[in-house]
Amino acid sequence: MQTIELGRTGQHVSAMALGAMQMGGATDERDSVYMLNRYFEAGGSFVDTANCYEWWRRPGSLGGQSEELLGRWMREGNRREQVFLATKGSAVPIFSPDLWDDQGQPNWELARRTFEGAGADTLRHALDGSLRRLGTDHVDLYYVHVDDRSTPLEETLEALHGLVQAGKVRHLGWSNVRTWRLERIRQLCERNGWTLPVAVQQQHSYLRPGASADTPSIVDFEQLDYLREHPDQTLVAYSPILKGVYDSAAKRDGHWMMENYTGPDADARLAVLADVAAEAGVKPNQLVLAWLLHQESPRVLPLIGPRTRDQFDDALPALDVKLTDDQLHRLNNAGT
């Protein structure tokens, strides 16, 4: 597996990251360990989790299952030094029995209104909990999982800088964030000598969000332009294949992931994607991952989050797909 530099840190990480969100929840331990082992056999090292994963799977839970599983896996194989380990804080909802209905289904509207946020004490306690579950004294990358606009940025950034100074965190990241907030973060870090986040984890794929899409979680044209101008921050692309919708028109039809992407632009890009996939002899999902791996301005680090062994095994061939200049040109320029 190829590596890329994280920002301008000198730290090289695998060009494709493995997301552990569903490990210990929707994905049982046996299948999780299979995927982790296969990923490392393929040359990977960058594993991504969060303290909130997967609170929504079981009434009464507030997460931590993914971190606990990763901790066990690292201890059993003495792997900690081989893992570039990322986790996140700020997105655990404040506990309430109303977080689940009578059928045990999560109340996402309430969760999004009551996430714990990025206050200084909250982040310090959240990181300590993550370190305990992961069985390590530091993480390589620590994200603010959900941008918290109710807490002063100064408070959050100073606390994060303190965690770096204490040796508990090597690098910082931010997720689900507007571009203007990234610039404000940059200005405050420069002014105060605080540690600048070097990873920006956002939803990013081959399809482009429509004009009506309005979410801080999805990369838009402005954010791409900003990241081109600031290569000291690497775009980590979550949901890169949009729950696997590229392989199936039937799956795309009515799928909630398509709500922000439908329209003439999407139709045109899907048509070109199908043509190039046929030429390259790969599946459209695989081609999307390969296209992301080929992006240079800005560089993109796709983060896969398979739930099953088959989904994982289906993603790996993307690492070996080589696209011609003509194919890249057609893919890049498809649409309106």
Task: State the pLDDT at residue 67.
Answer: 98
Tokens linked to 243 = 């729950």
Q: Could you give the residue ranges of the DSSP H alpha helices within the chain?
A: 29-41, 65-77, 108-113, 120-134, 153-165, 179-192, 221-229, 249-252, 264-280, 284-294, 309-315, 325-333
Residue 133, phi then psi, degrees to nearest 5? -70, -35
User: What percentage of residues in the chain have a pLDDT greater than 90?
Assistant: 99
Q: Provide the 8-state DSSP code for 244.
A: G
Number of H helices, E strands in the chain: 12, 10
- Residues 200/194, Cβ–Cβ less than 8 Å: no
Nearest to 49 by CA among 87, 91, 90: 87
Here the CATH number for the domain that contains residue 265 is 3.20.20.100
pLDDT in tens, 254-295: 999 999 999 999 999 999 999 999 999 999 999 999 999 999
Residue with tokens 């201890």: 75
pTM of the complete model:
0.97
Overall domain count for the chain = 1
Q: Provide the 8-state DSSP code for 302.
A: E
Does residue 182 have a pLDDT over 80?
A: yes
pLDDT in tens, 48-79: 999 999 999 999 999 999 999 999 999 999 99
Domain that holds residue 109: 3-333
Contacts of residue 289, Cβ cutoff 8 Å, sequence gap at least 6: 16, 240, 241, 302, 304, 315, 318, 321
Nearest to 284 by CA among 273, 299, 268: 273
User: What percentage of residues in the chain have a pLDDT greater than 70?
Assistant: 100
The span from the CA of 273 to the CA of 287, in Å, is 8
Q: How confident is the model at residue 156 (pLDDT cuts 50, 70, 90)?
A: very high
> Per DSSP, what are the bridge partners of residue 169?
139
CB atoms inside a 10 Å sphere around CB 37: 13
- Residues 118/143, Cβ–Cβ less than 8 Å: no
The span from the CA of 314 to the CA of 306, in Å, is 9
Instruction: List, as one string, the DSSP characters of 28-49.
Output: -HHHHHHHHHHHHHTT--EEE-
Amino acid at 135: G
Q: How confident is the model at residue 126 (pLDDT cuts 50, 70, 90)?
A: very high
Strand 300-304 versus strand 17-19 pairing type: parallel
Does residue 336 have a pLDDT over 80?
A: no
Tokens linked to 24 = 């210990």
Mean pLDDT computed over 196-221: 96
Task: State the pLDDT at residue 220.
Answer: 96
Q: How confident is the model at residue 211 (pLDDT cuts 50, 70, 90)?
A: confident
- Residues 90/126, Cβ–Cβ less than 8 Å: yes
Q: Could you give the residue ranges of the DSSP H alpha helices within 193-324?
A: 221-229, 249-252, 264-280, 284-294, 309-315
Give catalytic residues, as residue numbers: 53
